[in-house]
Amino acid sequence: MGTAEFAVPSLRECASHHEVVLAVTQPDRPGSRGVPAARPVRDAAHRLGIPVLAPQRIRGEDAVRGVLDAAPECVVVAAYGQIVPKSLLDAPRFGAVNVHASLLPRWRGAAPVAHAILAGDEETGVSIMRMEAGLDTGPVYLSAPVTISADATTPMLTRALSTLGSQLLIDVLAALARGEARPEPQPAEGVTQAPSLRREDGVLEWETCSALDVDRRVRALQPWPGVTLPLAGTRVRIVAGAVCDDDGIGYSPGEIVRVEGECAVVAAKPGLYRVDTVLPPGSRQMTAAAYLRGRRR
């Protein structure tokens, strides 16, 4: 059961080592410019010759029956996007296993990778958990850490975690088959929540954000909702940039301090942030300097 690209390596590994009787994914949704939103798990399942079920509500009676009729011995869940009912968690012989992109109990919820970057964590990882009724509260079979580099973005980190998670998953499924898997309850200490991102999370102002906060948000809120900030009189999406070493004392927030090559250095509160790439409204992606040259015409 999965929808996003994060789940595709797990699906492929399962198909390489086991019989995958069914792939359950989210139904088609409208995307940009009338094109349906991508459904990576659906597409990967079709290529692998695996039947696909895409119910509007997985908790619906027909959806539950459709899954149970396939008689799975284990349900594997990765980035699915709906709450799985208890009837599907308990029915299979080996229960339900979740591939979760954090070191539980830190960052339970829908957006663990983004929240790890937003918080400035130096490390995250993957946990393979036995699912229960609570949100990411189940005992953990296996976990492994990953270092968060200073330039890590959510897509970059997600790709690394998806590969690692698929490898850990296969180890756990093998242990389940041998009767050797023993999940450990999550500790009560260290619980944090990673709720879904909102569009307003990316609407920032130089007067209220430090350069460090801007940097973390630009890296974390990709590909959605993205970060917008005023630049030369127009709010633009900041695609890439970095914190400058200069503390920015003496400059007003939002002031363009200087242009360095194709980049623009802007004052935040406090600190200076180097804007590398922007996406102006109704235009294409470009360097910050190219955008400023266009504004002066």
The four Cα atoms 167, 171, 176, 181 give a dihedral, to 10 degrees, of: -120
Q: What is the pLDDT of residue 246?
A: 85
Give the Cα separation of 230 and 253 in Å (integer). 10
The three-state secondary structure class of 36 is strand
Is 199-296 CATH 3.10.25.10? Answer: yes
Contacting residues for 13 by C-beta, under 8 A, at least 6 apart: 166, 167, 169, 170
R_g (Cα) of the chain, nearest Å = 22
User: What's the CA angle centered on 239, arms 237 and 245, to 5 degrees?
Assistant: 110
The three-state secondary structure class of 54 is coil
Is 5-178 CATH 3.30.200.210? Answer: no
Beta bridge partners of 227: 238
Contacting residues for 149 by C-beta, under 8 A, at least 6 apart: none
Q: How many CB atoms lie within 10 A of CB 169?
A: 25
Q: What is the pLDDT of residue 295?
A: 85
Domain ranges of the chain: 5-178, 199-296
Burial class (CB in 10 A: 0-12, 13-18, 19+), 189: exposed
Residue count of the chain: 297
DSSP per residue over 181-221, as a string?
Answer: --PBPPPSTT--B-PPP-GGGGB--TTT--HHHHHHHHHHS
Q: What is the pLDDT of residue 297?
A: 60
Q: What is the pLDDT of residue 66?
A: 97
* pTM as predicted: 0.95
What is the mean pLDDT for each group of 10 consecutive residues in the chain (297 residues)?
Answer: 97 98 92 72 97 97 97 98 95 97 98 98 98 96 98 98 98 98 97 97 97 98 97 97 91 96 97 98 96 85
Q: What is the pLDDT of residue 247?
A: 84
Give the Cα separation of 24 and 77 in Å (integer). 9
Q: What is the pLDDT of residue 32?
A: 60
